């Protein structure tokens, strides 16, 4: 499958099966702006014009003479035939150049712009969008559909009882008047069975309702998503309710919602394997019906959703259904994709353990797996109770069991692929032309697997279906060209190893429909998803040249000079054109790196050159070996740092930065410069250790350890930083709140002999300054609570949603959520339970709003007070634009919350943390779901919305690292030079102070050098999204902490030297105090940033406490 084609004329992205709504709006605006829209939708005057026949649409019985006569008549009546024809051509051309390959083939042979627009509208406009907008919750009027006039009087009271979950009252009412069970209440059109099925604890009332309802009444759909009460029971996770409804009306399992999903497909959004199993075997015959197209579509949808869950048990269901009807593998599902295509887009299902650590890879290779389990067996995914505070999707299995299950998933995926290959062979045998393979999405699946580097899928599919070897797409590009275009080196080399030499020669001579050979394709710019994995623009440019050179080796020499038919360019010219911007970025990156490194080299040259002149002053009886080590290491450091400086100056001043320089010349120079700089730093530290050992011969152990730590830190910098998140993502930025149960509530205080003592303590505290203000503040809080309780009584009396809106109840609720007013929200919902599922104009409930406004304490509080089944239902909810909870979490945090975090990099970290935390409570498949508006997954929405913030974070990190590295370099210079003055001090000086001076100076040197290394690593990192989660903050924290230590120890050394020089004078005291104040003020800046980073990365946790004491307070006040 080719990459998305970008149009520079009319639209940003050409029309495909996902973006019709956006595409049609942009094209319509373009046509209106160019006065061409009347061609598509003529005005009244224009519509009255006679239709002009075109030569391309002349029917056989129409003669040229008749057409000419018609044109003469029209001209005589004043119509401008030429102008109308030109406008039609211009409008048609605008539509054509805005279409992708599939859309363009749909209007092939159409010469009328109006007909082309109609065909595209009918073909690409998604049905679910129309159905969703038709069922929007726009009506706010009281509704009692389905009730007779005599029953409507009791409908309001019945609805209120349903919303308050007063099941005893509900049962009495419908027992007395069974007609109430036929009604649909509120703007959501919920039936009584809908209300009861939402709660897993109401199975008894559901059974009683079902006994009294007809089959037709059980098929009532709501107005939100068109779901039946059965779907409500599925989301609530009650197998008992589901069985009860299915026994009464078996046809319920075949009733679709507005998104055209069956109950069994909805059940895959939950983690209840018993529910899925029960519904699957009840629906199995319906899904595998070969004679019904709609049923087969549902079967394909079920298999696709099973594959997307990537779970051992659901893969078993998919395999079992495929064995019933293998042709379902090539049937399009509700998203116009086939299960074969979905499997091709899941390379993680075909792993072989290569991505595991060495020890785990060894276990993966030798661990035994039993034969594939029955379809009903789940892969051991245990869902914990949400009340325990654990993530509902966490697995409680040992590491070996996880590896074994991963291997079983890979084996079952291969079984799935083999079953699908049978369908492909059958399709291939019956295929009349290539269109049959395309309609079955066989070719699209093959090219999608190549694009994603799914090597095992491609190799197994082609080995089972050899006829696919030379398949091509609509641009006449085969799988080799696709592998080159998407830089899938492993797949490309695998295919070359498994084909004959003659086929390699034939492949190397192939061209696409634009005349591009393999080298032309290799000359295109690598997709950003692959290119961004390489750190540094210069190394990215090197990788691109290396790929071009490798492909050049397998093509015939004349291919380098061939021109394509589209631009008449050779492969080299195409490469230069496509990599022009990347080459400029590579030049800028190289110059920035060399500038920083040359400053470090210059400082080392200065220090080592000055240090060597202190050697003659050393006493003759000192250790000669150490003197020799010092001289040699200082000399090596001087020469290597000077060499490094010369190399970096050459890179900055005299390098041409041409294309071929990025292959070997520039990387080799950079490698030589960094290597010599590394050697100079190592030998400088050795020289420093030698001089310290000469001065303090009895304290060599701590000196060597400090030096080794510094050198190890520099050498291992690319490897020591782990990329695993240390703290739950969304937990940052929220203060810890103690469990209210641990506090001493005044209403729960036990009467004991300590009461009098407590009274005395309270009386004493009241006399303290400010105690009256605290008491008044507490009284204000209590009075506010009383106000809220009185207001809740008024809210209870409101009868319908329109009154809630007019009375600004919903507005108040959503405003409280937006501001994080936890107590207000919890008490209001406790007093008026019907507000739990309230939604705003975007169909977002309070969970989504708390998620959107990053109200972590409120969000977790609500999760703690709802059942696990309601959590599952909430995690599956979507707003009117098709955004799930993860899509909402992927939006940019409001500036009022984000600006509280200092630094763009830490803001980016906070956003990633929140996204990761929300990801824990949603279903794994939610990460792959696309919204309706942009057809984007949550990760794509996150990347789109945080693009600017990530750039700001990169700039902030580099500015901070540059500033801090300059300070570190200055401290290195000072401390290195200072230690050589120690030998000039008189021998009778205070030996303890001398030792303090030497040790503190050494620590300062080592820590500042380590800090400089860390900041150098920060400047050369990749700055990808995941780096901001822990990698970059942890590096910055290490660099700032070592810088802080170096500043403190430098201050100690400074104080020690003054006390040594003026031991009996009062002069050092004010000088030391002034120096301490100055350095302390300076050190406070990085220290405060260090504390912020540490808290953001490690210390902050989401408050998972419940607020049951508030509920007790409410009950107590109600009793009063």
Q: At what angle do helices 537-554 and 571-578 cross, to 10 degrees?
A: 160
pLDDT of residue 654: 64
Question: Token pair of 736, please?
Answer: 């810890």
DSSP H/E element including 1100 = none
Asked if residue 993 is part of any domain, the answer here is: no
Asked if residue 493 is part of any domain, the answer here is: yes
CB under 8 Å to 646, separation ≥6 — which residues? Answer: none
Cα–Cα dist 737/716, whole Å: 39
Exposed e or buried b for every residue in 875-905, given b needs 16+ CB within 10 A? bbbbbbebbbbbbbbbbbbeeeebeebebbb
Asked if 788 and 915 sit in the same domain, the reply is yes
Q: Report the domain count for the chain.
A: 5
Query: Could you state, in chain order, the average pLDDT of each consecutive group of 10 residues for the chain (1120 residues)?
Result: 46 74 84 86 49 41 43 46 78 86 77 86 61 39 56 71 81 83 74 80 82 87 82 86 90 87 87 87 88 85 91 90 91 88 92 77 76 42 37 50 86 92 83 62 90 92 87 88 92 82 73 92 90 88 94 90 90 94 91 84 80 60 76 84 82 78 91 89 84 72 65 51 36 35 39 49 63 83 90 79 73 90 89 81 88 88 68 72 90 85 88 90 82 86 92 87 82 79 60 82 87 84 85 89 84 76 67 65 65 78 38 41
Asked if 635 and 674 sit in the same domain, the reply is yes
Asked if residue 905 is part of any domain, the answer here is: yes
pLDDT tens track for 686-743? 888 888 777 777 665 666 666 666 666 655 543 433 333 333 333 333 333 333 334 4
CATH number for the domain harbouring residue 646: 1.20.140
The number of beta carbons lying within 10 Å of the beta carbon of residue 19 is 21
CB under 8 Å to 428, separation ≥6 — which residues? Answer: 437, 442, 465, 467
pLDDT of residue 303: 94
839: nearest Cα among 888, 796, 910, 773:
888
First to last CA, the chain: 71
Asked if residue 238 is part of any domain, the answer here is: yes
Range of the domain at 562: 472-569
| The domain boundary residue, chosen from 216, 231, 255 | 255
Asked if 645 and 506 sit in the same domain, the reply is no
Asked if residue 31 is part of any domain, the answer here is: yes
Question: Token pair of 618, please?
Answer: 């050393």
Residue 293, phi-psi category: left (phi > 0), alpha (psi -120 to 50), beta (remainder): alpha
pLDDT of residue 435: 64
Asked if 586 and 540 sit in the same domain, the reply is no
Cα–Cα dist 844/830, whole Å: 20
Q: Where are the alpha helices (DSSP H) in 658-697?
A: 665-695
Cα–Cα dist 764/760, whole Å: 6
pLDDT of residue 1107: 35
pLDDT of residue 215: 87
pLDDT of residue 1059: 75
Asked if 149 and 71 sit in the same domain, the reply is no
- Full-model pTM: 0.63
Q: Where are the alpha helices (DSSP H) in 981-1107?
A: 991-1019, 1031-1061, 1068-1094
Asked if residue 347 is part of any domain, the answer here is: no
pLDDT tens track for 96-117? 888 877 778 778 778 888 888 8
Question: Got the DSSP string for 628-649?
Answer: HHHHHHHHHHHHHHHHHHHHHH
Asked if 904 and 780 sit in the same domain, the reply is yes
413: nearest Cα among 382, 379, 368:
379
pLDDT tens track for 217-257? 888 888 777 888 898 888 888 888 999 999 988 999 999 88
| The domain boundary residue, chosen from 569, 589, 614 | 569
Exposed e or buried b for every residue in 303-339, given b needs 16+ CB within 10 A? bbbbbbbbbbbbbbbbbbbbeebbbbbbbbbbbebbb
| The domain boundary residue, chosen from 888, 922, 949 | 949
Contact predicate 885/941, CB 8 Å: no
Asked if 874 and 794 sit in the same domain, the reply is yes
Cα–Cα dist 928/941, whole Å: 11
pLDDT of residue 139: 40
pLDDT of residue 457: 94
Asked if residue 904 is part of any domain, the answer here is: yes
Q: Where are the alpha helices (DSSP H) in 561-661?
A: 571-578, 580-611, 624-653
Asked if 611 and 553 sit in the same domain, the reply is no
Cα–Cα dist 676/654, whole Å: 19
DSSP 350: G
Asked if 514 and 533 sit in the same domain, the reply is yes
Cα–Cα dist 860/921, whole Å: 11
Asked if residue 535 is part of any domain, the answer here is: yes
Asked if 637 and 775 sit in the same domain, the reply is no
Question: Got the DSSP string for 235-258?
Answer: HHT-HHHHHHHHHH-GGGGG---T
DSSP H/E element including 145 = strand 144-145
pLDDT of residue 748: 39
Asked if 826 and 879 sit in the same domain, the reply is yes
Asked if 612 and 559 sit in the same domain, the reply is no
């Amino acid at each position: 499958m080719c990459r998305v084609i970008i149009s520079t004329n009319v639209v940003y992205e050409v029309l495909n099966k996902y973006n019709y709504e956006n595409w049609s709006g942009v094209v319509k605006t373009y046509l209106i702006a160019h006065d061409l829209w009347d061609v598509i939708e003529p005005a009244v005057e224009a519509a009255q014009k006679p239709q002009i026949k075109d030569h391309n649409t002349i029917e056989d019985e129409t003669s040229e003479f008749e057409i000419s006569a018609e044109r003469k008549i029209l001209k005589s009546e004043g119509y401008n035939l030429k102008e109308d024809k030109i406008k039609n051509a211009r409008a048609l051309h605008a539509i054509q150049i805005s279409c992708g390959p599939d859309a363009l083939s749909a209007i092939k042979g159409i010469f009328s712009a109006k007909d082309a627009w109609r065909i595209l509208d009918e073909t690409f406009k998604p049905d679910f969008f129309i159905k969703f907008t038709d069922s929007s919750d726009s009506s706010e009027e009281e509704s009692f559909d389905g009730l007779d006039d005599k029953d409507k009087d009791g409908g309001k009271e019945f609805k209120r009882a349903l919303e308050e979950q007063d099941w005893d009252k509900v049962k009495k009412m419908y027992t007395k008047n069974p007609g109430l069970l036929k009604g649909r209440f509120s703007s959501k059109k919920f039936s009584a069975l809908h209300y009861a099925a939402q709660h897993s604890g109401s199975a008894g009332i559901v059974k009683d309702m079902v006994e009294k309802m007809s089959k037709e009444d059980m098929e009532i759909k709501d107005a939100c998503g068109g779901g039946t009460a059965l779907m409500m029971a599925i989301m609530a996770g009650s197998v008992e309710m589901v069985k009860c409804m299915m026994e009464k009306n078996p046809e319920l399992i075949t009733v679709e919602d507005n998104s055209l999903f069956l109950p069994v497909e909805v059940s895959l959004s939950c983690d209840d394997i018993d529910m899925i199993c029960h519904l699957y075997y009840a629906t199995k015959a319906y899904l595998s019906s070969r004679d019904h197209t709609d049923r087969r579509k549902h079967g394909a949808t079920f298999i696709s959703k099973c594959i997307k869950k990537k779970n051992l048990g659901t893969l078993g269901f998919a395999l079992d259904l495929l064995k019933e009807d293998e042709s379902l593998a090539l049937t399009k599902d509700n998203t116009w994709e086939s299960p074969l295509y979905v499997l091709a887009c899941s390379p993680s299902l075909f792993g072989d353990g290569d991505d595991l650590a060495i020890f785990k890879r060894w276990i993966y290779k030798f661990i035994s797996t039993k034969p594939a389990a029955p379809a009903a067996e789940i892969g051991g995914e245990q869902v914990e109770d949400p009340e325990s505070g654990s993530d509902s999707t966490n697995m409680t299995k040992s590491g070996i069991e996880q590896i074994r299950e991963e291997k079983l998933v890979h084996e079952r995926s291969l079984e799935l692929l083999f079953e699908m290959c049978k369908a492909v062979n059958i399709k291939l045998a019956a295929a009349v032309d290539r269109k049959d393979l395309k309609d079955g999405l066989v070719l699209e699946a093959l090219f999608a697997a190549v694009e994603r580097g799914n090597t095992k899928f491609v190799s197994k599919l082609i080995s089972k279906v050899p006829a696919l070897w030379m398949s091509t797409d609509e641009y006449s590009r085969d799988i080799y060209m696709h592998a080159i275009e998407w830089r899938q080196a492993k797949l490309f080399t695998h295919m070359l190893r498994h084909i004959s030499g003659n086929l390699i020669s034939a492949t190397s001579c192939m061209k696409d429909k634009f005349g591009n050979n393999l080298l032309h394709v290799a000359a295109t710019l690598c997709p950003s998803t692959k290119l961004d994995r390489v750190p540094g623009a210069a190394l990215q440019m090197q990788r691109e040249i290396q790929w071009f050179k490798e492909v050049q080796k397998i093509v015939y020499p004349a291919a380098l000079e061939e021109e394509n038919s589209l631009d008449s360019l050779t492969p080299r010219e195409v490469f230069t054109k496509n990599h022009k911007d990347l080459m400029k970025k590579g030049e800028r990156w190289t110059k920035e790196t060399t500038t920083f490194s040359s400053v470090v080299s210059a400082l080392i040259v200065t220090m080592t050159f000055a240090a060597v002149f202190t050697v003659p002053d050393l006493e003759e009886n000192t250790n000669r070996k150490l003197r020799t080590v010092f001289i040699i290491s200082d000399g090596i450091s001087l020469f290597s740092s000077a060499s490094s400086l010369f190399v970096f100056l050459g890179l900055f001043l005299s390098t041409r930065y041409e294309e071929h320089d990025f292959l070997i010349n520039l990387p080799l120079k950079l490698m030589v410069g960094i290597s010599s700089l590394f050697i100079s730093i190592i030998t400088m530290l050795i020289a420093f250790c030698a001089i310290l050992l000469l001065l303090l011969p009895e304290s060599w152990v701590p000196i060597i350890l400090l030096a080794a730590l510094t050198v190890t830190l520099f050498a291992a910098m690319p490897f020591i930083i782990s990329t695993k998140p240390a703290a739950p993502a969304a937990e940052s930025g929220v203060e810890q709140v103690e469990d209210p149960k641990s506090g001493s509530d005044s209403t729960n205080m036990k009467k004991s002999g300590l009461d009098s003592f407590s009274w005395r303590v309270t009386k004493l505290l009241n006399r303290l300054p400010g105690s009256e203000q605290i008491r008044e503040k507490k009284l204000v809080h209590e009075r506010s609570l009383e106000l809220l309780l009185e207001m809740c009584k008024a809210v209870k009396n409101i009868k319908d949603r329109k009154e809630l809106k007019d009375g600004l109840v919903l507005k108040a609720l959503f405003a409280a959520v937006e501001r994080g007013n936890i107590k207000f929200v919890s008490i209001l919902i406790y007093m008026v339970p019907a507000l739990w599922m309230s939604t705003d104009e975007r169909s977002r409930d309070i969970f989504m709003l708390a998620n959107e406004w990053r109200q972590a304490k409120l969000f977790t509080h609500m999760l703690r007070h709802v059942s696990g089944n309601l959590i599952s239902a909430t995690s599956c909810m979507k707003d009117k634009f098709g955004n799930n909870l993860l899509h909402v979490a992927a939006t940019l945090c409001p500036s009022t919350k984000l600006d509280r975090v200092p630094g763009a990099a830490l803001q980016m970290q906070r956003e990633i943390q929140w996204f990761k935390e929300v990801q824990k409570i949603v279903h794994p498949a939610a990460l792959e779901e696309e919204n309706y508006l942009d057809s984007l997954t949550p990760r794509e929405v996150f990347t789109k919305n945080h693009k600017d913030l990530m750039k700001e974070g990169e700039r902030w990190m580099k500015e901070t690292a540059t500033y801090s590295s300059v300070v570190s370099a200055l401290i290195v210079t000072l401390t290195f030079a200072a230690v050589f003055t120690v030998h000039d001090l008189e021998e009778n000086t205070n030996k303890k102070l001398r030792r303090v001076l030497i040790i503190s100076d050494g620590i300062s040197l080592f820590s500042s050098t380590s800090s400089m290394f860390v900041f150098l690593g920060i400047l050369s990192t990749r700055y990808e999204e995941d780096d901001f989660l822990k990698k970059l903050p942890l590096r910055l924290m290490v660099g700032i902490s070592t810088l802080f230590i170096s500043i403190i120890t430098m201050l100690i050394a400074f104080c020690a030297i003054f006390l040594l020089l003026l031991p009996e004078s009062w002069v050092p005291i004010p000088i030391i105090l002034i120096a301490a104040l100055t350095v302390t003020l300076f050190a406070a800046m990085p220290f405060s940033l260090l504390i912020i980073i540490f808290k953001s990365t490690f210390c902050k946790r989401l408050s998972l406490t419940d607020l049951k004491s508030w509920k007790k307070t409410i009950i107590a006040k109600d009793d009063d």
